[in-house]
Chains A and B, each alone.
Chain A
Amino acid sequence: EDQVTQSPEALRLQEGESSSLNCSYTVSGLRGLFWYRQDPGKGPEFLFTLYSAGEEKEKERLKATLTKKESFLHITAPKPEDSATYLCAVQDPSGTYKYIFGTGTRLKVLA
């Protein structure tokens, strides 16, 4: 069965302390890997799409990378406003291309 696994489940960082979040996937025939940010009580907010191994995308303090089996979301010098849950999803290559989500990483950045 296709799976998406994220680690760690939770992460506490001091402001300015860089780190990486991991998303490993086992879906065959990747049609896209997506990173979303989710704030409490809100819907997922799109960050990045990655399609092929070696691809990288950047936005402010965030950088997403992709290999054949996993993706990393690197957070450089985070600020308290980066605190959120970060979700990874892959697109199911069959049927209607629904997203399969991981359980997310809850990030807390302390001032």
Chain B
Amino acid sequence: EPEVTQTPSHQVTQMGQEVILRCVPISNHLYFYWYRQILGQKVEFLVSFYNNEISEKSEIFDDQFSVERPDGSNFTLKIRSTKLEDSAMYFCASKLVAAGEKLFFGSGTQLSVL
């Protein structure tokens, strides 16, 4: 079965540094998402991306965050100046159509900000 691929699986960074989390969604999917999960908490929506632009973002997704789909296959999440509270598991997800369709999730990137 096709799958969403995320790299790296673990990322350790110093506070204030920039990180880029990478994702390769399923090839024919059109809708792309980033979610995060702080340890012990619920999976939270960050941002959705369709037709090469952000379609919706949460209040968590402030100016330090950005997303790109630079080459038609990769989908990246950049955090410009990391904070301690950004430490979390970040999941990329994709789906083929908007309504009523299941989301396919990647295995996640565990980000630790020191």
Task: For the complex formed, measure the closest distance between the CB of A90 and the CB atoms of chain B, giving whole angstroms.
Answer: 11
Given A96-B31, A99-B45, A101-B42, answer yes or no on A46-B102 (Cβ-Cβ < 8 Å).
Answer: yes
- Within 8 Å CB of B76, what residues of A? none
Judging by beta carbons under 8 Å apart, are A103 and B42 in contact? yes
Task: Tell me if A78 is interfacial: C-beta within 8 Å of chain B.
Answer: no
Given A41-B110, A42-B108, A43-B107, answer yes or no on A97-B43 (Cβ-Cβ < 8 Å).
Answer: no
Q: Interface size for chain A: under 10, 10 to 19, 20 to 34, or 35 or more residues?
A: 20 to 34
Task: Tell me if A45 is interfacial: C-beta within 8 Å of chain B.
Answer: yes
- Within 8 Å CB of B101, what residues of A? 32
Task: Tell me if B91 is interfacial: C-beta within 8 Å of chain A.
Answer: yes
Judging by beta carbons under 8 Å apart, are B45 and A43 in contact? no
- Within 8 Å CB of A91, what residues of B? 99-100
Task: For the complex formed, measure the closest distance between the CB of A21 and the CB atoms of chain B, giving whole angstroms.
Answer: 15
CB within 8 Å: A-B pair count: 65
Q: Mark B24-55, 1 if CB is under 8 A from A, else 0.
A: 00000001010100000111110010100001
Within 8 A of B (CB), among A20-56: 31-32, 34, 36, 41-46, 49, 51
Q: Beyond the given A98-B33, A98-B45, could you list 9 further A-B residue pairs with CB under 8 A, ordered by the A residue number?
A: A31-B99, A32-B99, A36-B105, A41-B89, A42-B107, A43-B105, A95-B56, A96-B48, A96-B56
Q: Which residues of B come within 8 Å of A, CB atoms?
A: 4, 6, 31, 33, 35, 41-45, 48, 50, 55-56, 89, 91, 93, 98-108, 110
Q: Which residues of A come within 8 Å of B, CB atoms?
A: 31-32, 34, 36, 41-46, 49, 51, 87, 89, 91, 95-104
